[in-house]
Structure 1
Amino acid sequence: FNFSKLSLEDENNDKSQEGINKASKGGLIYGEYLQLNKILNAQELESEKKGKKIHDEHLFIVTHQAYELWFKQILWEMDSVRVIFQNGHVRDERNMLKVITRMNRISLILKLLVEQFSVLETMTALDFFDFRYYLSPASGFQSLQFRLLENKIGVPQSLRVPYNRRHYRDNFKGQDHELLLQSEQEPTLLQLVEAWLERTPGLDSEEFDFWGQFEENVLKGLEEEFALIQAKAESEEKDDLLSEFQKQRDTLLSLFDEKRHEHLLSKGERRLSYKALKGALMIYFYREEPRFQVPFQLLTSLMDLDVLMTKWRYNHVCLVHRMIGGKAGTGGSSGYHYLRSTVSDRYKVFVDLFNLSTFLVPRHWIPKMNPSIHKFLYTAEYCDSSYFSSDDSD
Structure 2
Amino acid sequence: MACPVRSNFGPQDGEQLGEEAGMLYGEYLMLDKILSSQRLLSEQDKRKVHDEHLFIITHQAYELWFKQIIFELDSVRDIFSETLEESQTLEILKRLNRIVLILKVLVDQVMILETMTPLDFMDFRNYLKPASGFQSLQFRLLENKLGVKAENRVKYNRNYTRVFGNDQEALKQIELSEVEPSLALLVERWLERTPGLEVEGFNFWGKYQKAVNLLLDEQRQIAMAEPIENVKEYRLSDLEKRREVYESIFRPEIHDALLNRGERRFSHKALQGAILITFYRDEPRFSQPHQILNLLMDVDSLITKWRYNHVLMVQRMIGSSQLGTGGSSGYQYLRSTLSDRYKVFVDLFNLSTFLIPRSYIPPLTTSMRSQLCLWKNGITEVYDGNRKDGLD
Map of 1:171 onto structure 2: 163
Alpha-carbon offset, residue 129 of structure 1: 0.3
Unaligned runs of 5+ in 2: 1-9, 374-380, 386-392
Unaligned runs of 5+ in 1: 1-16, 384-394
Counterpart mapping for 1:265-276 below 5 A:
265-276=259-270
Contact 1:82 1:189 in 2 (8 A): yes
Contact 2:264 2:346 in 1 (8 A): yes
Deviations 1:121-152 (A, max 9, x none): 00000000000011111000000000000000
Contact 2:370 2:383 in 1 (8 A): no
Counterpart mapping for 1:177-326 below 5 A:
177-204=171-198, 206-325=200-319, 326=321
Alpha-carbon offset, residue 236 of structure 1: 1.9
One-letter amino acid of the counterpart of residue 301, structure 1: L
CA 1:116/1:25 → structure 2, altered by over 3 Å: closer, same or farther? same
Partner Cα separation in structure 2 for residue 189 and residue 51 of structure 1: 48
Partner Cα separation in structure 2 for residue 382 and residue 149 of structure 1: 36
Q: Secondary structure at the match of 2:70?
A: helix
Map of 2:367 onto structure 1: 372
CA 1:264/1:21 → structure 2, altered by over 3 Å: closer, same or farther? farther
Alpha-carbon offset, residue 234 of structure 1: 3.8
RCO (CA 8 Å, sep 6+): is it higher in 1 or 2? 1
Contact 1:217 1:367 in 2 (8 A): yes
Query: Comparing 103-112 with 172-181, which one deviates more in the overlay?
Result: 172-181
Map of 1:338 onto structure 2: 333
Partner Cα separation in structure 1 for residue 206 and residue 286 of structure 2: 20
Is 1:130 matched up with 2:132?
no
One-letter amino acid of the counterpart of residue 57, structure 1: E
Partner Cα separation in structure 1 for residue 304 and residue 96 of structure 2: 16
CA 1:167/1:21 → structure 2, altered by over 3 Å: closer, same or farther? farther
Alpha-carbon offset, residue 215 of structure 1: 0.7
Is 1:102 matched up with 2:104?
no
Identity of aligned residues (%): 55
Partner Cα separation in structure 1 for residue 191 and residue 170 of structure 2: 33
One-letter amino acid of the counterpart of residue 35, structure 1: M
Map of 2:23 onto structure 1: 28
Partner Cα separation in structure 2 for residue 354 and residue 298 of structure 1: 13
Partner Cα separation in structure 2 for residue 344 and residue 23 of structure 1: 60
Deviations 1:53-90 (A, max 9, x none): 101100000000000000000000000000111132x2
Counterpart mapping for 1:44-59 below 5 A:
44-59=39-54
Contact 1:162 1:168 in 2 (8 A): no
- The runs of at least 4 aligned residues of structure 1 exceeding 6 Å deviation read none
Partner Cα separation in structure 2 for residue 142 and residue 21 of structure 1: 50
Alpha-carbon offset, residue 18 of structure 1: 5.9
One-letter amino acid of the counterpart of residue 210, structure 2: E
Alpha-carbon offset, residue 202 of structure 1: 2.2
Partner Cα separation in structure 2 for residue 293 and residue 99 of structure 1: 13
TM-score, length-scaled by structure 1: 0.89
One-letter amino acid of the counterpart of residue 247, structure 2: L
Partner Cα separation in structure 2 for residue 169 and residue 327 of structure 1: 23
Q: Secondary structure at the match of 1:252?
A: helix
Counterpart mapping for 1:71-86 below 5 A:
71-86=66-81
Q: Secondary structure at the match of 2:156?
A: coil
